[in-house]
Amino acid sequence: MTLDKDKMLEYCNTFSKNTLMETLNIEFIDAGEGFLVAKMPVNASVHQPMGLLHGGASVALAESVGSAASHFFINDKEQEVRGIEISANHLRSIREGVVIGTARIIHKGRTLHLWEIKVTDEEGNLISLCKLTNMVLAKSNK
């Protein structure tokens, strides 16, 4: 399949309107064969009480980018994606700046997609390492 990076990014940023992704200011910034990248600002709106990036915000970034990436491997007229499991190891803290989530496909099956998502700071330091499993379902006629 040939992927058009600009169309992929436009699609992802458009479907993010009026969602948690918009609330967290997640922006999709790069795409290609088997990967998708998004960034999220780190400021008080995503901090936990100690003034650090909340682990849940990191996981929200990871699930957002991994789930969006699965859409490029399905027929969206007949199928839809559901995240069924996500795990995260938080390895480093950050107080301000930007974090970048890069999803790379590990397994692309007919009904399951497995993604590794690395959340890094702007210097490439690993903040969180996540694994996301998405299920591919037939759209219901309801």
Sheet of 79-90, strands arranged across: 27-32, 35-42, 97-108, 112-121, 126-138, 79-90
Determine contact, residues 100/36, Cβ cutoff 8 Å.
no
Is position 123 annotated as part of the catalytic site?
no
Residue 2, SS3 per DSSP? coil
- Catalytic residue from among 10, 63, 80, 85: 63
Q: Which residues are catalytic?
A: 63
